[in-house]
Amino acid sequence: MTVDDKRKIAVVGVGAVGSATAYAVMISGLVSELVLVDINRERAEGEAMDLAHGASFIKPIRIYAGEYKDCRDADIVIFCAGANQKPGETRLDLVQRNFAVLKDVLENLMPLKDDGILLMVSNPVDILTYAALRLTRLPPAQVIGSGTVLDSSRFRYLLSQYCQVEPRNIHAYVVGEHGDTEVPLWSLANIAGMPVQEFCCWRGVPCLDPEEISRRVREAAYEVIARKGATYYAIGLAVKRICESILRDENSILTVSGLVDGEYGISGVCLSLPSIVNRTGRARVLAVPLAAREEEALHHSARTLQSIIAQLDLP
């Protein structure tokens, strides 16, 4: 008898983001097994120990430092390897460095199990997701980038603070690049069906300035990095959320990154659009109606990403 329905996640690269993600996943009780892999084996061991020592406070889980081969029976491999964004650096500056890391890792990592999902988190996430898709030749649904799931959360959080209503009641998305060209979809943003600005007036709070909110969402990572040197806690929860939707086969709508194949006339690039996420991965992309300036901004985002992709040495 084989026990094939054990749930297992592998985290490759356990710097600040990888280890915070492992912590959030571990606390969630989502999986029975969690393996940490890092080029620095000692670091992986240290993180696995620090996490495992808290195991008696949560639902039982097996946590250990492993090798690439330990990823081959994982349901999801979360890719967090590579360098982090430095203060003042854009996500795109990282590209050549992290592309090299990706190629190295994939050579050792592959193949995944048949229905395994490769979840890219390292930045620039859209570029690396596209590169991973081309390098692995996996079906597009199985190669997902964390994309703007975090940016959408930041957008909702800022609106919820402003409007004094809980974030889950804010319906709002950020699409496009996880980076400077991202596009907050104000035309769709609503609270209980009321456009956000109308809601503000009604709630008796000062009218919000969309430009100001959009700027704060876009620059959130820079603001955090300027203050604490890095961002890792919120992304950890965002990645946990994506894993949950995959493993629990939830059909949730999340702004994950993935191959765009004709939507809005865009193709040959990975970026974030609202997508249905279930056990098969990024099952469907929603071509939600966009305002003209939003669609234009999305094209700009796509072109920015495509111009970088063109500089990579892809098969």
Binding residues: 13-18, 38, 43, 68, 82-83, 85, 91, 98, 121-126, 146, 151-154, 156, 171, 231
Measure the CA angle with vertex 218, ends 13 and 297; round to 5°.
Answer: 110
Told to check if 261 binds a second copy by CB under 8 A, we report no
Closest contact distance (angstroms) between CB of 204 and a second copy is 9
Q: Which one of 98-106, 145-153, 261-269, 294-302 is the stretch in contact with a second copy (CB under 8 A)?
A: 145-153
Told to check if 232 binds a second copy by CB under 8 A, we report yes
Closest contact distance (angstroms) between CB of 222 and a second copy is 11
Place of tokens 């456009």: 195
Told to check if 160 binds a second copy by CB under 8 A, we report yes
Residues 276 to 295: which contact a second copy by CB under 8 A? 276, 279-280, 284, 286-289
Told to check if 249 binds a second copy by CB under 8 A, we report yes
Q: Which one of 90-98, 128-136, 272-280, 295-303 is the stretch in contact with a second copy (CB under 8 A)?
A: 272-280
Contact 43, 14 (CB under 8 A): yes
Which position among 17, 19, 66, 94 is part of the footprint of a second copy (CB under 8 A)?
Answer: 19
Indicate the residue among 134 and 171 with the shorter CB distance to a second copy.
171
Each residue 102-141 as x (binds a second copy by CB under 8 A) or -, in order, gives: ------------xx-----------------------x--
C-beta neighbour count of 158 within 10 angstroms: 21
Told to check if 150 binds a second copy by CB under 8 A, we report yes
Q: Which one of 15-23, 119-127, 205-213, 302-310 is the stretch in contact with a second copy (CB under 8 A)?
A: 15-23
- Binding-site residues for NAD(+) sit at 13-18, 38, 43, 68, 82-83, 98, 121-123, 146
Closest contact distance (angstroms) between CB of 145 and a second copy is 17
Told to check if 208 binds a second copy by CB under 8 A, we report no
Phi, psi values for residue 254, rounded to 5°:
-135, 145
Closest CA to 15 of 98, 118, 122, 102: 122
Which residues, at least 6 apart from 40, have a Cβ–Cβ distance to it below 8 Å? none
Closest contact distance (angstroms) between CB of 10 and a second copy is 15
Closest contact distance (angstroms) between CB of 227 and a second copy is 3
Measure the CA angle with vertex 115, ends 111 and 119; round to 5°.
Answer: 75
Q: Which one of 4-12, 119-127, 128-136, 304-312 is the stretch in contact with a second copy (CB under 8 A)?
A: 4-12
Q: How far is residue 73's CA from residue 113's CA, in Å, rounded to a whole number?
A: 6
> What ranges make up the beta strands (E) of the chain?
8-12, 33-37, 62-65, 76-79, 117-120, 143-145, 170-171, 174-175, 183-184, 190-191, 194-195, 252-254, 257-261, 267-272, 275-278, 281-285
Closest CA to 225 of 16, 81, 18, 85: 85
The alpha carbon of residue 295 and the mean position of all alpha carbons in its chain are separated, in whole angstroms, by 22
Which position among 178, 218, 240, 282 is part of the footprint of a second copy (CB under 8 A)?
Answer: 240
Contact 121, 257 (CB under 8 A): no
Told to check if 174 binds a second copy by CB under 8 A, we report no
Residues 28 to 87: which contact a second copy by CB under 8 A? 29, 32, 42-43, 45-47, 49-60, 75
Which residues, at least 6 apart from 238, have a Cβ–Cβ distance to it below 8 Å? 146, 149, 150, 153
Residue 250 structure tokens: 């939830």
